Amino acid sequence: MGVNRLQVEDFRCLRNVDVEFGPHVNLIEGQNASGKTSLLEAVYMLGRGRSFRSGRLTSLVRDGATLFRIVGWLDSTTGSRVAGVSGSSHGLEAHLGGSKVRGLAELAEALPVQNLDPNVHKLVEDGPALRRQFLDWGVFHVEHSFISAWRRYRKANQQRNALLRSGGSDAAVEAWEGELAAAATAVDMARRSYAGLLQDAARNLGMTLLGEELVCEYRRGWPQDQELLDSLRQNRGRDREYGASQLGPHRADLRLRLAGHAARGRVSRGQQKLLSAAITLAQMRLLHDRRGEPGVLLLDDPEAELDEARAEGLLKLACSLPLQLFVTQLPGRNLPLPTDTKRFHVEHGELRRMV
């Protein structure tokens, strides 16, 4: 999957953009605050229905406008489709193939897009929530039954939590625990299988980028030697005190180790970026291997936190993989990119093709 053409109206500083991209590498050049990252953000919106920078929809609308529109022509081996998102103070609307989408999962299915920006180190340094989201994005794209199992689990857990908070009887709480445990088992099996594939794919990429062994260690969110149903029953009293389940897939983690040590809190900012890049590139490789389609990778300011050799290594590796790449740079830089790279210059929110 990839973005063949993109139209953007009144998104951030982008007033009116209509551009055709290349299927492999696309370079976006411009000064800081010119609109480079906003263009990448618009592509991200098409595949996620949300921004990677701001949670407030109205902050994405250009000053003086009332709403933004983003339309993309998406190519795949099975044909082309048009996707669109628009946002205003009234909320977000998304369409795919002329029909309003029922959920953002439809956008994600149509355009698998990942992002490597200067904040990517948070994947290593922050808590488990970001790593769960990262893991689940990958599972979703290779295991189609995963989203159904996750929704079942989320519903059952919400019902159990509501009963815990309201003082529901043990019988009422237990009535939801069987469904919760069954759905959790399906979620865990899908995550565990994918984490194994991710580890295999990330091992060589980690060695290439970091020169050390990278390990992705999946933790499911409850004791390995115990069934979740038994854990829920044993911990029901504590869960009542907290008003929520303290064990389950919503507490899972993907722990990252480098050279035999936990990466969190130990490695430098540059190493955090490269580690995050390695597992993200592993995801993109898995996506292509399992679905036979390339995904989209957004690489914003690849030189941030890295020396020249490391930045070049990251770019060369990204360019060697089967994906559509969008990368930004400042004017005057000379990133090592393939000869077939499509190059664009953005200034004051206006985009033009470079010869």
Backbone angles phi, psi at 293, to 5 degrees: -130, 140
Looking at residue 305, its pLDDT comes to 86
pLDDT average, residue stretch 104-126: 92
pLDDT average, residue stretch 315-320: 96
Q: How high does pLDDT run on average in the chain?
A: 94
Q: In whole angstroms, give the CA distance from residue 335 to residue 2.
A: 22
pLDDT band at 304 (very low <50, low <70, confident <90, very high): confident
Backbone angles phi, psi at 69, to 5 degrees: -135, 140
**Residue 303 DSSP symbol:** T
- Domains in the chain and their CATH numbers? 1-112+298-354 (3.40.50.300), 119-292 (1.20.1050.90)
pLDDT average, residue stretch 37-61: 92
Looking at residue 1, its pLDDT comes to 81
Looking at residue 355, its pLDDT comes to 64
Looking at residue 197, its pLDDT comes to 96
Looking at residue 122, its pLDDT comes to 92
Residue 245 scores a pLDDT above 90: yes
| pLDDT tens-digit map of 118-173 | 889 999 999 999 999 999 999 999 998 999 999 999 999 999 999 999 999 999 99
Q: In whole angstroms, give the CA distance from residue 320 to residue 318.
A: 5
Q: In whole angstroms, give the CA distance from residue 76 to residue 99.
A: 19
Looking at residue 334, its pLDDT comes to 84
| pLDDT tens-digit map of 267-277 | 899 999 999 99
Looking at residue 77, its pLDDT comes to 76
Position 109, amino acid = E
| pTM, 2 dp | 0.94
Tokens of 122: 């948070």
